[in-house]
Amino acid sequence: MGKKVYNLPLGGGSMKVKVKLFTTLREGRGKELMVELEEGDTPQKVIDILNIKKEDVAILLINGRSAEFDAKLAEGDVLSLFPPVGGG
């Protein structure tokens, strides 16, 4: 996908995935986005589209479950991306 800038909705495929961004990842991108992906697309594809560096994502959740960058996304999934966070 390269660095092409998309008009909303991002992506252009037939499968809709909601992306939630947190803390610094929101800067210039917003809190919540809909991306349209192709069957078999992955979180890696999403961060490419959003121009997010892999190393800036510390925690990746699909529907609230920890997942990997190469997981297969499905229609209606919610992808949450966090930079390193902690507290207590």
Binding stretches for other proteins (CB under 8 A): 20, 22-24, 26, 31, 58-59, 61, 63-66, 80, 82-88
The size of the chain, in residues, is: 88
Q: Which is nearer to other proteins, 40 or 76 (CB)?
A: 76
CA–CA separation, 13 and 22 (whole Å): 24
Smallest gap from residue 18 Cβ to other proteins (A): 12
CA nearest to 84, candidates 32, 17, 24: 24
Smallest gap from residue 63 Cβ to other proteins (A): 6
Smallest gap from residue 14 Cβ to other proteins (A): 25
Element (H, E) at 46: helix 43-49
